[in-house]
Structure 1
Amino acid sequence: MTSPIPAGFKMGGFHCGVKRNPNKEDLSLIVCDEDTVAAGVYTTNLVVAAPVVWDRARTPSDKIRAVMTNSGNANACTGEQGDKDNAEMAGIVADKLGVSADQVLTMSTGIIGHHLPMEKIRTGLDEVFQRLGTDESHFDAAARGIMTTDKGKKVAAVECKINGRPVKIIGMCKGAGMIAPNMATMLSVVLTDAQLTPEQAKTVLADVTNTSFNCITVDGHRSTNDTLLLLASGKAGTGELSGPALEAFRAELEQLCQDLAKQIPADGEGSTHLIEINIEGAANRDDAKRIAKTVADSALVKTAITGGDPNWGRIVSAAGYSGVQFDPMGMELTVNGHLLYREGTPVKFDEKTVSQSIKDNFDTNVTLKFNEGNARFRYWSSDLTVEYVKFNSEYRT
């Protein structure tokens, strides 16, 4: 079986001591064989971490040679020293590769307001360079190195043909709490051997983000460090993509990013259900997204799913206060395929059967249909449990 790792990259992970647990990697490094195209999408929070400022200023680019990530410390709200520490990390990696620091992207995640333990990171970077490789074990180690409260690594891979050539796309992400759109509290790196220009990478990444990572929520809390990077080595020999070939790549990338994105609320801190909210028949895409987001963010909807309660009233009322104008008599609600509400009133259904369908399955499907148009939108959320409250109340203490 061939490796799913795209050509042109090597990677690895190592525990250097940022995290207390010696069995958990806290450094991740991805190295490009040659100058590589890279683009990024970043948090919209006005309070941002040093690595976000650094990466924003350096993407899109066709000169990137590495992505270095530390976990356990976000290097956010750390002032001038945080900027210096971030630049030093990039500089260490650059010196080892014989390139400019501007060709190294950085990411950090973890506790905010604490300076990085640079002595540990310096030593760790020396070690992780000795552990780089091109097989799945190296990729998995790098994926573990970006985790914080995640229960396990979050990865996805696809292989397809573009312009008659086999193309690989593989991605890793992290995130379980402080998750809300634009973007979530997440880090993600996606690698491909397709050939893209910097502007193509920027455009296609922004496009697929809007139907993947910007369609998830756990708690509505937006982070200071959110970063999604796409690196394209061009080693597949596809030639520069355009027209149907570029659209085919975009579709494959979208599928992979949706796979990664769903893994985040599925791992929502203390979550027992992944909730998929489908909106159909809205007047336009913006209306559909607004309704979906409102339902996804509702604490009462989340807790109903936790308890296996087919509480149609919480769902339809959330749609009603979304701020979207629609005819309430044209709204229809199904949960796990069971019709609960139509034409302004609940329909007769077996509450015990519907409740059991929620309790017996990790995935819960909520579909709201309208008669306003043909627009659709899909959103993912986690339920809200006592464990979530307990976990976050004790996170710092």
Structure 2
Amino acid sequence: MEIKFTWPQGFQSGATHAGFKADQQLDFGWLVSDVPAVAAGVYTKNQFQAAPTQYTRSLIQKGQTLQALVINSGNANSFTGQPGLDNAAQSGHLVAEKLNISSDLVGVASTGVIGKQMPMDKFKDGLAKLTLTSQSQLPEAILTTDTHSKKTCHALTIDGKTVTITGFAKGSGMIHPNMGTTLGFIATDAKIEGSLLQDLLRELIQSSFNQITVDGCMSTNDMVVVLANGQAQNQTLTAKHPEFVSFKKALQTVLINLAKMVAADGEGANKLIEAQVQNAANPVEANQVAKAIVGSNLIKAMLFGEDGNWGRIVQAIGQTQAQLNPNQLDIQIGGIPLVKNSLTVPVDQAALHQILATDKIIITVNLHCGEAQGMAWGCDLTYQYVEINAAYEG
């Protein structure tokens, strides 16, 4: 069940203003476990992967264990060459020294402007101010063009023990994921096998973060990391554990909640778009069609203008490689049928306009080619998106 935001047992955090941003906004923070935690991660497939992403990916692949994550906004440390990699490594070492732990246990994440070296003097100043508390503003410290923080918390019972899964993320623009998107972090006190957690994240990311898009642009800094420190004291979760499915569903809920928050907060967005695909030939094609719908600039502009031109939905579906029957396609917007068996149907335009005027639009399509279902999330395309990105560096 969803509960008020709180850190799982054995986790603390902190946040401060280090000066990566010109104003006095929070721009630096950390998440720390009392003990080393099993770690899993997924990362951008952009060929210009940022230094912090490369560094953290290497740590997790090598040891599957982290105890701390240090995160900054305002500087991406991306496309910065060997100095950028050195700064990412130094960042981890400095945090490790302050916490008196091994540097192999400190992951690093950054977000902000690409192409600028990390100002390590500001990093050191910010680190000197960081403390650890049970309540902090860490989710607010990682924001860039976001209008608000994105966080969620879920609790369940495993082996009679309360297990908490807490997630937070940032993301508003440059959102078009491939394995991971934006920056997303999940902390849980569940005890679980490391390889199983990695497999689980790799699977669940496909139906959550990988099913959102804002602008079709893949970031260089994307990563989603899960830490599980085992402090709930449940029996180690394996694929055969009787309550493993419950944990999997709870983790999926947290990931989907965060993904939808990112999509809804797309730069300049007024509306969240949800595409629901029914009866596709297989799950991959169902998700492909759903993401094509929410990613279409024509559809995004159409919904910003509150127009019901369903022909644009047909176009988006047809340009995918999914199996289709041209004579059997159903389309609904907000539950109102627009197309049935590939033929237009009479529509109550007043009712349709009322739905299009809301801040969440659900587009449902039935492909009649199988039994697979898929979903994706995006946002409308507004004048404000251009304004924000025309002057990102101010």
Scaled by the length of structure 2, what TM-score is found?
Answer: 0.96
Structure 2 CA distance for aligned equivalents of residues 102 and 4 of structure 1 = 27
Matches within 5 A, 1:188-203: 188-203=184-199
Task: State the shift of 1:88 in Å.
Answer: 1.0
Q: Does 1:379 align with 2:376?
A: yes
Inter-partner Cα distance in structure 2 for 1:275 and 1:3: 25
SS in structure 1 at match of 2:184: strand
| 2:247 paired residue among 246, 249, 263 | 249
156, 159, 170: which is aligned to 1:160? 156
Contact 1:184–1:217 (8 Å) recurs in 2: no
CA RMSD of aligned residues (A): 1.4
- After superposition, the Cα gap between the structure-2 partners of 1:192 and 1:311, relative to the gap in structure 1 and judged at 3 Å, is same
Is 1:103 paired with 2:105? yes
The answer to whether the 8 A contact 2:279-2:372 is kept is: yes
Please give the secondary structure, in 2, of the residue aligned with 1:389: helix
Task: Report what 2:269 is aligned to.
Answer: 271
Aligned with residue 331 of structure 1, among 320, 329, 332: 329
Per the TM alignment, residue 352 of structure 1 is displaced from its structure 2 partner at its CA by 2.8
Residue matched to 2:139? 143
Counterpart residue number, 2:117: 115
In structure 1, give the amino acid aligned to 2:103.
A
Report the number of matched residues.
Answer: 389
AA paired with 1:292? A
Q: Residue 328 of structure 1 aligns to a residue in which SS?
A: coil
Q: Which runs of 5+ in 1 are unaligned?
A: none
Distance, in Å, in 2 between the alignment partners of 1:340 and 1:184 is: 34
Identify if the C-alpha distance between structure 1 residues 363 and 302 changes in structure 2 by more than 3 Å, giving closer, same or farther: same
**Aligned equivalent of 1:34:** 35
For 1:1-397, list aligned pairs within 5 A: 4-22=6-24, 24-60=25-61, 61=63, 63-128=65-130, 131-135=131-135, 138=136, 141-183=137-179, 185-242=181-238, 243=240, 244-359=242-357, 361-397=358-394
Which whole-Å CA distance do the structure 1 matches of 2:235 and 2:46 have between them?
A: 37
Shift of 1:320: 1.5
SS in 2 for 1:58: helix
Q: Structure 2: which 5+ runs fail to align?
A: none
Q: 3-state SS of the aligned residue for 1:51?
A: helix
* Structure 1 residue 120: Cα displacement: 1.1
Once the 2 structures are TM-superposed, how far is the Cα of residue 225 of structure 1 from its aligned partner?
0.4
Q: 1:271 to 1:227 in 2, by over 3 A?
A: same
C-alpha distance in structure 2 between counterparts of 1:3 and 1:172, whole Å: 10
Cα gap change, 1:75 to 1:221, in 2 (>3 Å): same
Per the TM alignment, residue 325 of structure 1 is displaced from its structure 2 partner at its CA by: 2.8
Deviations 1:181-202 (A, max 9, x none): 2146510110000001211111
Letter in 1 for 2:274: E
| Offset from partner CA, 1:39-60 (integer Å, 9 cap, x none) | 1110011111111111111115
**Closer/same/farther in 2, CA of residues 394 and 62 from structure 1, 3 Å limit:** closer
- Partner amino acid for 2:82? E
Query: What TM-score results when the alignment is normalised by the length of structure 1?
Result: 0.95
Given that 2:278 and 2:371 are in contact with CA atoms closer than 8 Å, whether structure 1 keeps it comes out as yes
CA distance in 1, matches of 2:387, 2:86: 36
